[in-house]
Amino acid sequence: MQSEIVISGFGGQGALFAGQLLAYTALDAGLHTTWFPSYGPEMRGGTAHCTTIVSDAPIGSPVVRHPRAAVVMNLPSLERYEPLVKAGGVLVVNSSIVERHVQRTDLQVLRVPGDDVAQELGDGKVTNLVLVGALLTRLPVLELEQVKRTLEHVIPERRRNLLAMNLQALERGAALADPLAAAV
């Protein structure tokens, strides 16, 4: 079984790191994984996105047109990925700044107020992890606890002091996910 997760947002919203975290977790869990960034000048200011693939078999393509899940942290990302997620797949939306609702009805949509939760936790920079926490509830391949364990050792040195907050972000996202999903 192979799961493809796209994470997409403004540069600076931490999409790339969130994707890497999933890949690191997959590695720790003994799974196959790839992380594929979009890179280049668009990273500066524009949109940043990446694809993480997690699988129990060797991975061919590190990109796919139709991912199983997408975490969209801003409106342009929603515009881009809503049409692409596989039917039945997961779409996590940062509802704090994305007002528009999802049109498709064949997806599991999680609208999570990522920025608000992050502000609450005291750091705008953990929106990505809030959303990932939510995602994990719908993505059976990686377990929240494993992600947390992995985070502990891959968190960049300069953010180590924020580890607790980062872990909370994951948890809050996960906690929010269930009722939200029901509300879709």
Partner 1 sequence: MARALLKGNVAFAEAAVRAGCEAYFGYPITPQTEALEHMAKRMPELGRAFVQAESEVAAINMVYGAATAGVRVMTSSSSPGVSLMMEGLSYIAGTRVPAVLVDVMRGGPGLGNIAPAQSDYAQMVRGGPHGDMKMIVLAPATVQELIDLTVEAFDLAERYRCITVVLADGSLGQMMEPAELPPMRTPRAADERPAWALTGARGREPHALTSIYLDPEQEEAYNLELQATYRAIEAAEVRYVEERLEGARIAVVAFGTAGRLSLTAIDAARAEGIEVGLFRPVSLYPFPEERLRQLAERVDALLVVEMNAGQMIDDVRRVTRERVPIRFYGRTGGVVPMPEEVLEAIRGLHAELVREEAVA
Partner 2 sequence: MTVPTLTPRLTPVVSYPEALAPTPTHYCPGCTHGIAHRLVAEVIDELGIREDTIGVASVGCSVFAYNYFAVDFAQAPHGRAPALATGIKRTSPDKLVFTYQGDGDLASIGSAEILHAAARGENITVVFLNNAIYGMTGGQMAPTTLPGQRTTSSPAGRDPATQGYPLRMSELLAQVDGAAYVARRSLHDVANIRRAKKALRKAFEVQQQGLGFAMVELLSSCPTNWGLSAQDSLEYIRDVMVPAYPLGEFKVPETEGREAR
Helices and strands per DSSP (H, E), number in the chain: 6, 6
- The whole-angstrom separation of Cα 183 and Cα 87 is 19
Least distance between partner 1 and beta carbon 114 (Å) = 24
Q: Which does 37 bind (CB under 5 to 8 A by kind): partner 2, partner 1, none?
A: partner 1
- Which helix H or strand E contains 55, and what residues bound it? strand 47-55
Spell out, one character per residue from 18 to 57, where the chain touches partner 2: x when CB under 8 A holds, - when not.
Answer: -----------------------x--xx------------
Nearest to 90 by CA among 3, 2, 1: 3
Q: Can you tell me which of 37, 76, 124, 125 binds partner 1, judged by CB under 8 A?
A: 37
Query: Is 35 a binder of partner 1 (CB under 8 A)?
Result: yes
- Give, as ranges, the residues between 48 and 107 that touch partner 2 (CB under 8 A): none
Contact 91, 82 (CB under 8 A): yes
**N- to C-terminal Cα separation, the chain:** 26
Q: Which does 45 bind (CB under 5 to 8 A by kind): partner 1, partner 2, none?
A: partner 2
Matching residue, tokens 């061919």: 60
Between 46 and 122, CB nearer to partner 2:
46
Interface residues with partner 1 (CB under 8 A) are 20, 23-24, 27, 32-37, 39-42, 59-66
